[in-house]
Amino acid sequence: MRADDVAAASDLANELTAALSRVVRGKPQAVRLALVALLSGGHLLVEDVPGVGKTLLGKALARAVGGSFRRIQATPDLLPGELTGVSVFSKRSEDWEFRPGPLFANVVLVDEINRATPRTQSALLEAMEEQQVTVDGVTHPLPDPFFVVATQNPFEHVGTFPLVEGQRDRFAVVIEMGLPARDTERELLLGRGGAGSLEDMAVVTGPEGLRAAVAAVRRVHCAPAVADYVVDISSTIRVHPEVRLGASPRASLSLLNAARAQAVLGGRSFVSPDDVKLVATASMAHRLILSGGADLHAGSALVRSVLERVPVPRG
């Protein structure tokens, strides 16, 4: 029944793409990669200067997916407890009660994550990794699906705490929005798409549907040759002379999962080398620490050069 599940997931992916594209105009790649992150069960980090629609993408995703949605505006004084929730003493029950924080939602939008302190960031990233929070020794599972969309402006330096390199690979996909094309910007001015259309946007699916889609993506067939190809890419990155810290096995796994999601987006029930290539840059670049430091642009260029070199399997 795999084919049916995958077909349903593909339909869902198509609907999501259509819905998002109506709001986030002129950014098909960003929409695609955002959905790759969503469907692969990972998290999304959107980097760019303010005003190019990072938050809009996050909001649109949240609305399309349905379910519960929380938005967190990160600031230096944001405390971990304000994300995870706190235990309070209830007079009625005469016991400590856990008040869930904003992380307890299906979609969590963390704006300007690099403004939060490293301590808060760590709490957030830990929650993202383990899909649970521990408060006062009690572990509380986070909802399923649990999808974090974080944004940051990497060009701001004053009052920011850049994500520690090792923590960036908690994100399955990192994308840059980029400036819109002239036509798109014009349309935006004329009121087509953008934040204004967000309210008209229909909910495409609910937590149930998304969970099923993510499960279907996990079951997408991967031929041994494609796994080899992924390993080839990772190992080629690792031995690249400019790379100080290369792609971990977790990175390889994440890349393959992203490729699986890409396959579903393409309406297929198997991963092809094309899928791997389509997601490799967004999935890998932010994990690399180059001799010049962790630079997303340099990392992307390096991954692209590696993709140009690694032979694709013939079958």
Partner 1 sequence: MSIVERLKRVNERDAPEESVPFRVAVLVAVVAAASATLSQGVGGSLTRLAVLAGIPFAFWFSHWARYRSGLWLKAGLAFGVLVAFGSFLGSLGDAADGGLAAAQLPLAELFCWVQLLHAFDLPARRDLLFSLMSSMVLMAVAGALSISMELLAYLLVWGTAAATSLVLAYRSELAQVPVLGPAPNRPTSEPRAGLISAGLVRSVTTTVAAVVLLGTGLFSVLPPAGQSRAVTFPQRLSGSVPLPNGGGLSNPSLGGDDPGGGEQSTSGGRASFGYFGFTDNLDTGVRGRPDNTLVMRVRSSSPDFWRGQTFDAWDGRRWSISDSKPGSVSGDAPVDVPLAADEQGTSTGPELVQTFYLERPGPNLVFGARPISTLYFPDRRLFQLVDGTLRAGVSLEEDSVYTVISRRPVATEAILRDSDGSGAAVPDRILARYTGLPAVPQRVRDLAREVTASAPTTFDKVRALEAWLGANTRYTLDVPPLPDGADAVEQYLFEDRIGFCEQIASSLVVMLRSVGVPARLAVGYTPGERNPFTGLYEVRASDAHSWAEVWFPGVGWQPFDPTASVPLSGDGGLSRASSGLASYLTQRLPQLPAWLVSTGVAVGAVAVVVALVVGWLRARRRRLGAHRSWADTALARLEALGAARGRHRRSSETATEYAGALRRAGGDRRLDQVAAIVTRDAFSGAPATEAERQAVARILEEAEATR
| Contact positions vs partner 1 (CB under 8 A) | 221, 223, 225-226, 268-274, 277, 307-315
The whole-angstrom separation of Cα 16 and Cα 18 is: 5
Q: Give the nearer residue to partner 1 in terms of CB position, either 249 or 311.
A: 311
Q: Give the nearer residue to partner 1 in terms of CB position, either 167 or 281.
A: 281
Beta carbons within 8 Å of 133's beta carbon, 6+ residues apart: 84, 85, 101, 103, 123, 127, 139, 140, 142
Q: Give the nearer residue to partner 1 in terms of CB position, either 6 or 78.
A: 6
Cβ 215 to partner 1 shortest distance, Å = 19
Q: At 294, which amino acid appears?
A: A
The whole-angstrom separation of Cα 204 and Cα 306 is: 37
Q: Give the nearer residue to partner 1 in terms of CB position, either 99 or 309.
A: 309
The whole-angstrom separation of Cα 27 and Cα 18 is: 12
- Sheet strands (E) in the chain: 44-47, 69-73, 85-90, 95-100, 107-111, 132-135, 138-141, 147-152, 173-176, 243-245, 289-290
Cβ 118 to partner 1 shortest distance, Å = 39
Cβ 269 to partner 1 shortest distance, Å = 7
Query: Pick from 236, 7, 58, 101: which is nearest to 255 by CA?
Result: 236
The strand pairing partners of 221, in sequence order, are 270
Cβ 231 to partner 1 shortest distance, Å = 15
Q: Give the nearer residue to partner 1 in terms of CB position, either 205 or 272.
A: 272
Cβ 283 to partner 1 shortest distance, Å = 17
